[in-house]
């Protein structure tokens, strides 16, 4: 049986957009506002930027992949709200 070593991918387009804009020099706040203006982020982006949306998608993928229930509390969660421009340089 093959052994899975990692799961990776873009689980949240809003966060991906924000982090990409921050790589271009935007502040977190400005990148979030741009994402909202363009319709990539919701008016209340909490589930996206706090990591809940990504965590839930990862939970579904891991549960299918490992053929067992993965609980939300078993996944470490950290959103992107504390990331600054210096972090993405």
Mind telling me the catalytic residues?
57
10 Å CB burial of residue 83 (0-12, 13-18, 19+) is middle
Rg (CA), the chain: 15
Token pair of 74 as six digits:
């078993």
* Residue with token string 């502040």: 27
């Amino acid at each position: 049986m093959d052994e899975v070593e990692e799961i990776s991918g873009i689980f949240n387009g809003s966060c991906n957009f924000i982090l990409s804009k921050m790589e271009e020099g935007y502040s977190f706040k400005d990148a979030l506002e741009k994402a909202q203006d363009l319709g990539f982020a919701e008016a209340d982006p909490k589930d996206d930027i706090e990591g809940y949306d990504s965590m839930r998608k990862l939970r579904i993928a891991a549960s299918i992949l490992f053929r067992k229930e993965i609980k939300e509390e078993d996944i470490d969660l950290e959103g992107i709200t504390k990331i600054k421009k210096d972090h993405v340089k």
